Chain A
Amino acid sequence: MPGSLLMIILYLAVAVFVVGLIKRGLKIAKLPIHLRWELSPVPHEKGKASYGGSYLEEFEWWTKPREKSLLNEFWYMFLEIIFLKGVWENNRRMWYFSFPFHFGGLYLVVVAVALFKLSAFIGFTGTNTSAIASLAIGVSVIAYGLGAFGVIGLCIQRLTDPVLKPFTTPSHIINLVFLGSIYVSGLAAIFSISNYAAQMTGFIQGMVTFSPPALPGIMGLHVILASAFLIYLPFTYMMHFVAKYFTYHEIRWNDTPMPGNDKMEKEVGELLSQSPTWSAPHLKADGKKTWVDIATEEMDK
């Protein structure tokens, strides 16, 4: 397959993905401040997180220094992201497929791509990088193998498990099949092309110098499928890795009190001066009265 065509598709895909990622993140971040809705355990509570305690356990908590541990938050997220701790604890049956899919089909794929890039960049210096490239191949095989195992298992579960089935929509299956096709085409390319590592390294180098070599058909198909997935991804709920930052850090663990926080007070003041339009009779929100007006008016006696 012509290298330049593949290069254009891949650059385009990466651009769409990056723009989609930023847009998603900004869209969530730009939503207004919310009322406190924290949920224990909050891991940054130093000395208390292990049992779910918070600073509100302290006598006159506002007179005590806030002791936060970012390391605890990091550790919590590490276990959650890498090992899917929540799924392990609460949904073991799904974990057996979800974990290989996430760990292999996503994280190891990223590692494999990084290794190929490393091999390509070091290769520019004339150094022999066959060891790194071989490692990249090994990681790719494990990644695609685990990913394929995971998506097949998840597909079967989603289609047959009476608990999951009523909630399964065509998009769930298409997403999994799409990912599966990337893993299978990757494995097929690796096993059918004897110098896959050299071709991939050369292709990445060509992407940098804007003169990529042509790739064998199956490898080209693999690159196209991966690119198409990158373009598709920002339009799906699979971007939950972005959302997860907010659901944990900004909602579950956001326990910042308002007193003394001028910036927050100012923002809340502005939000309270908006005019809601709810139509229930006890509110009489006519689109002119503000939140403050409605909240401070007396109920008819």
Chain B
Amino acid sequence: MFKNYFKIAIRNLLKYKVYSLINILGLAIGFGCTILILSFIQNELSVDAYHQNRNQIVQAYLKGTRDGNTNYQSTVSPYIGPMLKTEYPEVLDVVRVYGLQEVAFQVQDKQILESNGIATDPNVFDLFTYRFITGDPRVALSEPHSMVISRSMAEKYFGSTDAIGKMIRVEDRYDFYVAGVIEDVPVNSYTTFDYLIPLNFLRELGLDIEGRPYFPCSYLTYARIRENTSLAQLNAKVSERMLSEGEEITFDIELKPFSEIYFFETGGKTRLAVMSLIALMILALACINFINLSTARHMVRAREVGIRKVAGATRRLITIQFMGESLLISLIAAGIGLLMARGFLPVFNQMMSRPTYIDFTNPLFLTGLFALVLITGILAGLYPAVFLSRLRPVAVMRRENQRKGKATLRKVLIVFQFVLSIAFILCTLIIDRQTTFLQNFNLGVNKQNVLYVPMEGEIRDHYRGVRTELLRLSNIVRVSTGSRLPTAILSGSYFEWGVRDNVGRRICTTFTDYDYLKTFDIQLAAGRYYSPDFPDDARNSIVVNEAAVRKVGLESPVGKPFPFDGQDYTLIGIVKDFHHNQMLSQPPEPVAFRLSPDANDFMFIKIDPGIADAAAISATVQDIEAICRQFSPKRPLRYEFYNDFSFDRERLQEVIRLMFTISTALAIFISCLGLFGLTSFMNQQKTKEVGIRKVLGASVRSILIVLTKDIAKWILLANVAAWPLAWFAMHKWLENFAYRVSLTIWPFLLSALIALIIALLTVSWLAIRAATANPVESLRYE
């Protein structure tokens, strides 16, 4: 019996190749997407889950409230940790973590820049779960010059993990010994590092590791709290002690559960929600296709059901046959989907910049997938199983001849598919416009041909010499320094400035040398910028931007006194507002430009803007490297082009755009598969009708119109439903941006047009084929 069923299932698949292909391909794509995204979600949920104390750990956040807006910062003062431990009995243990800058390591003749290290309290291994290969976690960080390194680092420097007691020379000044080797920090960690040194060591660098309540805020601070502690009560007590209310801003410390940190920091929950939604929609599209096409096919097979009943088949057997058939297809699709997901995993990982694994052993994943296959298969087989099997044989067979009537459900589903597709097209169009808008936004800063180089070591020490040499190169027009890139002047402080009224106002400060503005073509609104011709500039001049002047309401202030943080300066110039904050999330704020003529954090090198040729630019970069090597032979130059610089949020934006573009393509593709399948199926039914019409003298054109009229109607209907949906979603999304495109009618009309054209193209070649077919042929077909 089952052999008979299987045979007929396979023959049906092969006989209706197009239908089978569409069905399986569409469903496989849906499954593939879902598998990828399910895996991604599962990976995201597993981040940091391996720490055994996970549920007892909290992290201290600096909470700043201004104008009713609350901001959280993960780094707090080193003061907070010990305070929590000594003053609150609920707090059992505290660990502070300081992220280290890039540091030069040397072991014998191996010299490597290490960028991923932390300085931390010695009890770090009590709180967090890291596996030691060698060494004793209790004492590994007890000496200021002890160090714990990862397996890969040990193997890199010493060829094996047997590294205890071996020496590492750091920055050519400090000698550390290896006191422990741990397994590499798992990739599913929010914070990863290659080595740890004791926090105490920072004293030798002149860092303040005692601090004051709100200074210096640069330490991550974790605490293990007693089980069953009410975090809300603890936070209330901490606030009582820590709350500091200023004029403009209120500071506080808030403890957050460690298990929520990853999503809190990355905004990952929204991302997960959006991705799940996308996956769900694509899956829905694919399943609708499958169900739609299967049902359509099964209608035709009504006769088979009837004959089988006459031959003695019971309802149960018919149910088994058709359910089995659709389950088989669903299973094949799941297999192909799995292969697709595996194939696209590298691309996907690159896109999401997080490693995702498809974990076949995970029971959750397996049951999820299995349930999906089952549900889809059952839904698709439901029609023949429940409906056809119930009818009397003669009634079933007759049903075949009544095909025209009740396709309402299928039409509704097709329209629904197009609603989703059109909404996808619309969102993509709008996201694309917004992204382009942001990219082309005139920031007031020229990033073209500017290299930025972090200043460190000898380059910093011999900056003047480096600068002189660089400027000798004919292709280099300017060399300057500053503490920040002009579009990354983000952190502000609160104090009295501009007017003496004892009010603390927020202002962002950056240190620059004389040529900073010229390097980036930033314009002055009034006065002048710092100049070596005015020796006084170094002592008592100051430059601010227009926003600062507006904020304190000064009129023609150039040349007048300008109080700043308790000192008196003369305002010598006003810089035109440019967008110094990340991603245009808000309009320009007050910015003060302070003079620091020599050493700053970054050196900016402007190559002649006339040079656009990549080869010429890279030749110039090589010249720059050669010069820097003369000054700093051991340390390779690190540089980046300003144009390539982007914030996480900008990258996220790109990812969103890419994701929507891909999803839209998939959505349209799947919907068109469905439309194609269904039309080809309907045409098949209409073949006879078309044949007769032609025999009676109908023109090809009139037949085409009959065949495509419906589709156009459906698409228009779908637009009506899709527009408000997309409008609402995009309206919400755009609210995230201080500068955004307005929602005009054009993307809406465009998406309608795109959908209509694609749909008509899909059906028209089928229609043309049907309309031009030889009538005798099509009549014989019946």
Pairing of A with B: no
